Every structure is written in structure tokens, then in C-alpha cells.
Amino acid sequence: MTGPRPPRLLFVCLGNICRSPLAEAAMRAAAGREGVAVEVDSAGTGDWHIGKPPDRRAIATAARHGLDIGGLRGRQVGLDDFDAFDRLIALDRDNLDALRALAPEGARASLSLLLDHVEGRSGQDVTDPYFGEDEGFEQAWRDISAGVEGLLAEICRQPSR
């Protein structure tokens, strides 16, 4: 017997080397801790970092929080993702807009911003840390952790589809 299929989640940022790999790893870890079955991946709306490992500052940030993201590789979001995933979760509004522009008619996946899943933070961006100081990665991690916890709680409250 097979049970209901786990929700499939795709986190989407611009480069898929900083924020969305952190979100992917944070969700995998949180779901594992809570014993919730989910399938998780990440992608970028841009194509500059296809096949590349995460930014070294993202790898270091994940490591500080006990996670290894060194094996992840960048990929670009594609039209198939709108059917393969239940939810596409953008890290900021620019990337949400890019997903809306790309979405095929009748796409199955729902679109949201990660911080929509945090009370009082709906509509807010996880700021892109790529061009900033190292501290930006820690701030991004805090926002990503909060978003992932909120999203996971929401998934747990929903009847499985």
C-alpha cells in the first residue's frame, strides 16, 4: 500500500547558490526532525550558476547550523517544475514575479513567498546576501529558518492531498 504522496516543495531564488539551497537544506532538516515526509529541491530563476556548488559563504552558514550543502548544484527553474511540484516558494518578490511571468496556464503548483508563511511578515523578502557582507548570510539564515518553520507547520495542519 502506498500512502498519500508527500508534498513536493521547490524553493526558488535568483542564483540558486545562496538563499534557496539554504532553504532546501533547512526544510529537509526541519521535516526530518519533525518526522514529516516532504520532497524538497531548489532552483534559480537565473542561469549563471547552473551546475555550480553553493557560494562558499552559504556553505559556511549551513555548516555553522549543522548542515552540509556542499553537494548541492545549481539549476534553473523550468516549465516542468510548475507541474512536478505542489508549491514553488520564492525567496523574494522579484523571483515571485519571475515565477508568475513564467507559469504556464493551468499550472498545478501554488506560488508563495517564503516569508508569507511567517506571521506578520507576509510580502517581505529574504534579502539577497550575494553582494553584501558576510553578516547578510546569517540574517538570511534567520529569515529562512523562520519561513521554513512556518511553512512546515502549515503543511502539517493541511489534510494531505
Give just the sign of the alpha carbon dihedral 113, 4, 30, 61: negative
Q: How far apart are CA 32 and CA 34, in angstroms?
A: 5
Binding status of residue 150 toward ligand 4NP by CB under 6 A: no
Q: How far apart are CA 89 and CA 85, in angstroms?
A: 10
Q: Are 9 and 89 in contact (CB under 8 A)?
A: yes
Site size toward ligand 4NP, by CB under 6 A: 11
**Which of 9, 10, 18, 31 is the binder for ligand 4NP (CB under 6 A)?**
18
- Within residues 109-148, the interface with ligand 4NP by CB under 6 A covers 128, 130
Does the annotation mark 19 as catalytic? yes
Binding status of residue 23 toward ligand 4NP by CB under 6 A: no
b/e map 48-67, b = 16+ CB within 10 Å:
ebeeebbbebbbebbeeeeb
Binding status of residue 151 toward ligand 4NP by CB under 6 A: no
Nearer to ligand 4NP among residue 6 and residue 124 (C-beta): 124
Binding status of residue 155 toward ligand 4NP by CB under 6 A: no
Residues binding ligand 4NP (CB under 6 A): 13-19, 44, 48, 128, 130
Active-site amino acid positions: 13, 19, 128
